[in-house]
Structure 1
Amino acid sequence: MRRILVAGGTGFLGRAFARGLVRRGARVVVLTRFPDRAAGLGLPVDYVRGDVRRPDTLGPAMRGVDTAVLCVQFPGYPVEAPARGRTFMEVDARGTAALVEAAVEGGVRKLVYVSGVGADPDAARIWYRAKGLAEASVKESGLAHAIVRPSWVYGPEDRSLNRFVTLIGAVPFFFPQLGRGCGRITPIHADDLAGLVCEVTLGTAGDGLTLEAGGPEVLTLDEVVRTAMRVLGRPKPILHLPLPLAKLGAALLELLPGQLLSRDAVDFVTQDGVADSRVVRDRFPSFDPRAVGPGLEAYLSGS
């Protein structure tokens, strides 16, 4: 049985990948800083201790690994906490580079890096630049590899669409939307993305490719909110908060503990993220992600 390591396997996406790989018969080991704490997640996996900010801890984790799925994120993502080492450059860029180096030294055969639409090492935005640098580390490793760039990912355990759901229920007369709500995205359910990542990991159809992956609809953020309102049966007006005002509030929240919000995070959550999935559909004909409405209905109903 192939031994597959998921770095970032305790996070929202990593858990979906780990469960999908186990269902397909893989032996999965999850890299985590806190194995004892992670055991409480109930995943049918083994755990190994490692911290991407401490490269010396990564070598032992890579021993006996055939393929490594790299999807590390820092706690509180996308709100950075530089004083605690929780930044895009520290975790996404340098952390992934450290994982790649350990994988090469440990004899890993293949890498699968879960990046994001827009990744570019020369980008102005730090999150795009960090993921672009991480992609470069993977491509330059000399190992078999594939890169998956998802659009906006949602699901029962996410912190994005579920925040919308919470606000729809908690705010009585309107929905507070950051900015104009015109950012265009192609939302993809976590299980649909996990299905693709598992196929890429266990097969060879994606090797050497950069694969953008999104759902079947191009929606604005306002359209996503209205879809959620329809599913919940809670229609209400959307109140758009001007970005300068939103960033002023975020600047104040940056001063408080807890990574509540930041000015950069405002830009992050209001940006475009449209995936071009043509290569994925060509290489993986079974890729058929669900629309947001049915996806949201399924997990809100518990089915």
Structure 2
Amino acid sequence: MDCNTLYISSLNSGSNGNCYYVGNSQEAVLIDAGISCKEIEKRMARLNLPMGKVKALFISHEHSDHIKGVCVLARKYKLPVYLSPKTHAGCGFDLHQDLVFNWDTNNTVEIGSLSVTAFRKIHDARDPHSFMVSCGDTRVGVFTDLGAVCTELTAHFKQCHAAFLEANYDSDMLNNGRYPYFLKKRISGGSGHLSNAEALTLFCNHRNERLSHLLLSHLSKDNNSPELVENMFNTHAGNTKIIVASRYQETELYVISSDPDASAGISRRNHSGLPLQLALEV
């Protein structure tokens, strides 16, 4: 196994459900499971990713678009569910206690060769967290549902070789749109979601020179445009590949490595249709 290679995909990203896959050639974790178990199975199958590779679920916060599929998925595959005690209290999960694991913020959880670190973020939930997933020297961040850019987020973003980063709304579209005033204030008031402009400022000012992939995530259906935000970021992308994560389907499976000589990109496939790097482990 190449201990510096990770494979990532957004299985779904948006207010209708969020689920992010990060793994190596042997094991993987899902960050949030806000779509059904059945949909997660379908989308992983289309990526030729065996469900047996998933070894744990990590939950960012208790909002329904992040937890809808957790209980069925965890029970069916006997997956440990990692979340903070306050988030656990807010979820109302009907799960056996043997499947639930609470963490202390900034402590690292080891899942095989993967290391997962959670840190607090600004969002209107009980105890919301973002995540950094590492394998060897390679680091992938999962940074969505952000009310504002804080020092913790900036520090972690600087370390990433790839990241899922929220770009939820275009300010003009939100301000001129049909949402009631209270909802506009909830979204843009500092504890809701990150605008395109705020995400772009973080990207331009703090990206790692080896940030190979940026997956723009949790786009609003009504207050954003995939083409608009993709063009915004591509203007400043340099060597970083910009991908807009869909609210309707999975992205490609991307290969991420801290090794500058590695062939990072879309995972190649062998004659069986399986990603070449993963086929031996099925």
Name the TM-score, length of structure 2 as normaliser.
0.35
Q: Whose helix fraction is larger, Structure 1's or Structure 2's? A: 1
More strand by share: 2
TM-score w.r.t. structure 1 length? Answer: 0.34
Identify the structure with bigger relative contact order (alpha carbons < 8 Å, sequence gap 6+). Answer: 2
